[in-house]
Amino acid sequence: MQSSPTSTSPRAATPWLAYACLALSTSLVGSYVGLSKVLLLSFPVFLLAWLRFGLAALLMLPWLRRGPGEAPLDGRHRRLLFLESFLGNFLFSICLLFGLQHSSAVVAGVILAGIPAAVALLSRVLLKERQTARVWAGIALGVAGIALVALERTPAGSPAASSWLGIGLLLGAVFCEASYVVIGKKLTAQVSAKRISALINLWGLALVTPLGLWQATRFDFSQPSLPIWGLLLFYAAAASMVTVWLWMSGLRKVPAGQAGVFMVFLPVATALVGLLLGEHLSGGQAWAYGLALAGVLLATLPGRRQG
């Protein structure tokens, strides 16, 4: 697949709306990653994932219909939809939720900061996209910024609150998310963003239902409070519906490697949720987040026009 002209031609219009969709999508992902630790105090992992997919499936029923002028799905696109859901929805959610149970937020921030680099690598190998020096520099700034803030937050002499299992699960989540971006780029060429969101959510529901039902039979549904149920509804709508639609809408106009840079908003938003929950932002952390945002600007702002 050839790269989008938005990244190769200095005279092409800058897709600001697409950039906004990508930034908002990953910011919402980061917010529910932070809030998911609250939900994990009330729900076991598989039940939480099952309730998320089930609630989102009800919300997205109207999105399942094929739009006017949209071609029927062929075997290749059905396989891509399954892989998109298995890697980007089901496996990413499981790796992330279990990884958060076995890892500190500091280590999670460092590892999730590797998503842009993983996206650039996979888009180069699988999509044959040629990344510009500015995109690679933007990725480096984003990774450096989030790694810096994570390391800066580690108290001197404190024990590592992470296991190798947690680190491995979070690394798995990184490459699941990178695969989600690359496969999504192939899907958006033929399938609408809304229909992609609804179909991959249904696959996620089907995959997690056996494990979800198993945990549901052992769960006391009267235990969670009303605010927790409200947070679960937000989690379902944000994680399966809104963020996927925003991401696929933006991905239609932006090459996968460049879109991957916007993944820096994920750990940034997670940290901001931490601030809302009572954490403090130091000067070093502010500089680190500035580096991450500078990376996004470097990779997305239009270059100087020639002649």
276 lies in a domain? yes
| pTM of the complete model beyond 0.85 | no
Owner of token pair 């697949």: 1
111 lies in a domain? yes
Q: Is 188:132 a contact under the CB 8 Å cutoff?
A: no
Q: Mean per-residue pLDDT for 158-184?
A: 77
234 lies in a domain? yes
9 lies in a domain? no
275 lies in a domain? yes
* Helix 265-276 / helix 16-39 crossing angle, nearest 10 deg: 50
Label each residue of 63-97 as H, E or C: HHCCCCCCCCCCHHHHHHHHHHHHHHHHHHHHHHH
Q: Is 36:235 a contact under the CB 8 Å cutoff?
A: yes
Q: Give the pLDDT score at 151.
A: 65
235 lies in a domain? yes
305 lies in a domain? no
**d(C-alpha 224, C-alpha 42), whole Å:** 6
Instruction: Please give the residue range of the domain that contains residue 31.
Output: 14-65+73-154+161-300
Give pLDDT tens digits for 198-252. Answer: 999 999 999 999 999 999 999 999 999 999 999 999 889 888 888 888 988 888 8
Domain count, the chain: 1
5 lies in a domain? no
